[in-house]
């Protein structure tokens, strides 16, 4: 029944996308390399406005800005996917750098948990970035669309565990002394935590690193389930460590994009400023709204953008 | 179990450098972008022509604009579009600085394994930043 519902939603959205396609007819000429009819400053300005709203929605929906940025900007803006991925990594990096100090100082993000994971993820992100820049755009576009739709499915079906039951820490995490105590402000309790299945978790970060580098979408959507459900870190520690982790993973991939020329300041800077300002507003709105409803909007937005990327990659909607 | 209610010494040191580095990087990014926008310095690619290039794959863009990838931008800091790379590169370099700062703390605490992991991480990031690794282009 669930699968039927997903297919049904997919068909409705595809119909919506295809019927809306004339609205983007003018954009396609630009995408193929011709100059836009609009003044040069129009697209960066629209980019700033859109990323401002993405920043708000990302905070309210509990997703990383990079995850929303690449499929949406890549699907509906005239910039080539190479530059969008480069900007996406820098957007995710800037967000992670901004959040990192606070999360580390409060002890929510754990450096001992992050350091070994980051080494694997950042090394693999370099490989992913090189693969991403070497493969044909259509292939990357298709794979990006499939990945984003996969993220949507993960967001719908993945469970979360506030305090996973870790009966015994495994040998590797014991040797590396990956454990901790954090203060849960809502209950006033100090939560002791340890992790298990560390070798499997670290192995999974090989794939996460490659995907983060290849698509430039950050990797919070994958980090959190692995740290929380597979390795057994408490949810808040997983979310905070994941956010901090992005500052390391995305750094290595971002350098590959920078050194290969895939970074345009006119795309990067308005995006970073827009999404950061949006995040600040989003945090304020978060106190007054129901995030559950926003989460559905994020899921629909990602689904639309993922479908667009998939159709673009397959040559169905160019 | 060692109490971790307080963040460890290396974690606090990392956080402090990250905080300062992130703020400095963002400030550089904003200042250099303002210089670019108001035309205080000439840009290598005229802003009016940008829309001709941003829809191209990166290798085509480099070919058409005759821009050399890697660290060649350091020689073009008199052009406002390349001046933006100061802030971008600084933001991308902050993590490396943080790691370098915690290595002595880790070894002082005889946390040799993490000290070695931190050194390898710095090497990985330095390799990525070096420009040695170039993608094939498509």
The SS3 assignment for A192 reads strand
pTM: 0.87
Task: Give contacts of B14 with chain A, Cβ < 8 Å.
Answer: 104, 111
A265·B81 Cβ contact <8 A = yes
Compare all CA atoms of chain B with the CA of A180 and give the residue at the minimum distance: B4
Whether A148 maps to a domain, the answer reads yes
* Residue A139 within a domain: yes
CB spacing of B55 vs A33 below 8 angstroms: yes
What pLDDT sits at residue A11? Answer: 40
Q: List, for residues B50-98, the tens digit of each pLDDT value.
A: 999 999 999 999 999 999 989 999 999 999 999 999 999 999 999 999 9
Contact B127 A272 (CB under 8 A): no
B33–A contact, CB cutoff 8 A: yes
- Whether A277 is in a domain gets the answer yes
Contacts of B60 in chain A (CB under 8 A): 33
Find residue A193's DSSP bridge partners.
Answer: A180
Q: What confidence tens digit (pLDDT) does each residue in B88-133 have?
A: 999 999 999 999 999 999 999 999 999 999 999 999 999 999 998 8
User: Is residue B31 very low, low, confident or very high in pLDDT (cuts 50, 70, 90)?
Assistant: very high
- The answer to whether position A171 is within a domain reads yes
* Residue in chain B nearest A249 by alpha carbon: B125
The low-confidence residues of chain A, meaning pLDDT below 70, are 1-36, 287, 289-291
- How far apart are the two ends of chain B, measured CA to CA in Å? 53
Q: Answer whether residue A57 is part of any domain.
A: yes
Its ipTM equals: 0.94
Per-position DSSP letters for A280-294, written without gaps between them? HHHHHHHTTS-HHHH
Contact list in B for residue A259 (CB cut-off 8 A) is 69-71, 128-131, 133-134
Question: Could you tell me which of B29, B41, B32, B48 has the C-alpha nearest to residue B78?
Answer: B41
Task: Please tell me if residue B121 touches chain A, with a CB cutoff of 8 Å.
Answer: yes
| Closest C-alpha among A252, A117, A124, A249 to residue A173 | A117
Residue of A nearest to B118 (CA): A115
A18 within some domain: no
Bridge partners of A191, per DSSP, are A182
- Chain A CB within 8 Å of residue B22 CB: yes
Residues β-bridged to residue A192 = A181
Give pLDDT, residue A36.
Answer: 59
Structural domains of chain A, count: 1
- Residue A131: domain span: 41-313
Q: In the prediction, which pLDDT does A29 show?
A: 37
What pLDDT does A19 receive?
38
Would you tell me which residues 16-75 of chain A have a C-beta closer than 8 angstroms to some C-beta of chain B?
A: 30-36, 38, 40-41, 43
Neighbours of B43 (CB within 10 A): 21
**Structural tokens at position B42:** 């000439």
Query: Which among B36, B102, B124 is the nearest to A252, CB-wise?
Result: B124
């Amino acid at each position: 029944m669930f699968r039927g519902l997903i297919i049904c939603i997919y068909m409705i959205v595809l119909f919506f996308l295809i019927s809306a396609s004339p609205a983007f007819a003018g954009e396609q000429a630009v995408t193929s390399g011709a100059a836009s009819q609009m003044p040069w400053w129009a697209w960066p300005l629209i980019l700033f406005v859109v990323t401002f709203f993405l920043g708000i929605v990302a905070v309210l929906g509990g997703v990383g800005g990079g995850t929303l940025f690449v499929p949406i900007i890549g699907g509906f803006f005239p910039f080539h996917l190479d530059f969008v991925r480069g900007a996406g990594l820098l957007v995710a990096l800037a967000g992670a750098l901004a959040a990192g100090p606070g999360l580390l100082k409060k002890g929510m993000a754990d450096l001992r948990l992050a350091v070994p994971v980051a080494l694997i993820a950042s090394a693999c992100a370099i490989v992913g970035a090189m693969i991403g820049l070497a493969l044909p755009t259509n292939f990357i576009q298709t794979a990006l669309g499939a990945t984003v739709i996969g993220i949507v499915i993960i967001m719908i079906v993945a469970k979360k565990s506030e305090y996973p039951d870790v009966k015994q820490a495994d040998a590797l995490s014991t040797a590396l002394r990956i454990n901790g105590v954090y203060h849960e402000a809502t209950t006033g309790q100090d939560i002791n935590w340890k992790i298990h299945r560390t070798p499997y978790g670290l192995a999974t970060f090989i794939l996460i690193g490659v995907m983060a580098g290849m698509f430039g979408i950050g990797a919070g959507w994958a980090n959190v389930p692995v740290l929380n459900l597979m390795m057994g870190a408490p949810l808040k520690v997983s979310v905070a460590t994941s956010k901090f982790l992005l500052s390391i993973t995305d750094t290595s991939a971002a350098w590959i994009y920078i050194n290969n020329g895939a970074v345009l300041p006119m795309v990067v800077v308005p995006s970073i400023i827009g999404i950061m300002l949006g995040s600040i507003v989003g945090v304020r709105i978060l106190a007054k709204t129901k995030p559950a409803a926003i989460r559905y909007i994020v899921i629909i937005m990602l689904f639309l953008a993922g479908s667009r990327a998939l159709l673009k990659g397959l040559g169905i909607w160019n | 179990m060692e109490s971790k209610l307080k963040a460890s010494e290396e974690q606090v040191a990392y956080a402090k450098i990250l905080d300062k580095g992130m703020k400095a990087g963002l400030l550089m990014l904003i200042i250099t972008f303002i210089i670019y926008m108001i035309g205080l310095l000439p840009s290598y690619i005229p802003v009016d022509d940008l829309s001709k290039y941003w829809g191209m794959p990166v290798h085509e863009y480099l070919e058409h604009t005759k821009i050399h990838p890697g660290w060649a931008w350091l020689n073009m800091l008199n052009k406002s579009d390349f001046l933006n790379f100061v802030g971008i590169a600084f933001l991308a370099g902050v993590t490396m600085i943080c790691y370098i700062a915690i290595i002595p703390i880790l070894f002082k605490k005889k946390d040799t394994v993490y000290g070695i992991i931190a050194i390898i991480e710095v090497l990985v990031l330095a390799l990525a930043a070096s420009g040695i690794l170039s993608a094939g282009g498509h």
